């Protein structure tokens, strides 16, 4: 199965907006430290990051750290979170804020 089937066009004005498995999504480029893929809709010609619409979009922390942070949030383990990420408090606050929305 093509993993691009999990993605759909993010352009609200596109006829394929929100519809998965239509084969209209292709990879245009790969960028950043997390190897984020820039996806491309063949119908409306718009490009968007594969993380668009998720908490990983525009996150400055590595994906693994965001996932780890989320586990702490889910477990309600705020102290462990502070201890583990004390060195990057101000940076991860933004990610946490997104996760709680
Ligand atoms: Zn589209």
Residues with CB under 5 A from ligand 1 (ion): 9, 11, 14, 16, 41, 43-44
| pLDDT at position 1 | 44
- CA 98 to ligand 1 centroid distance, Å: 25
- CA 54 to ligand 1 centroid distance, Å: 18
Q: β-strand 25-31 against 36-41: which pairing, if any? A: antiparallel
| pLDDT at position 37 | 93
* The residue to which tokens 């984020």 are assigned: 36
Answer yes or no: pTM beyond 0.85: no
| pLDDT at position 61 | 80
Tokens representing 60 are 């400055």
- CA 8 to ligand 1 centroid distance, Å: 8
DSSP-derived 3-state class of residue 39: strand
Q: What is the pLDDT of residues 31-56, one digit of tens each?
A: 988 889 999 999 999 999 998 878 78
Q: Give domain limits for the chain.
A: 2-49, 63-100
């Amino acid at each position: 199965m093509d993993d691009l089937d999990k993605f759909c066009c993010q352009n609200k004005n596109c006829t394929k907006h929100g519809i998965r498995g239509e084969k209209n999504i292709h990879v245009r480029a790969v960028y950043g430290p997390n190897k984020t893929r820039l996806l491309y809709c063949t119908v409306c010609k718009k490009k968007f990051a594969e993380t668009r619409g998720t908490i990983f979009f525009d996150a400055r922390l590595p994906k693994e750290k965001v996932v780890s942070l989320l586990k702490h949030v889910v477990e309600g383990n705020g102290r462990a979170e502070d201890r583990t990420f004390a060195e990057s408090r101000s940076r991860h606050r933004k990610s946490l804020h997104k996760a709680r929305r």
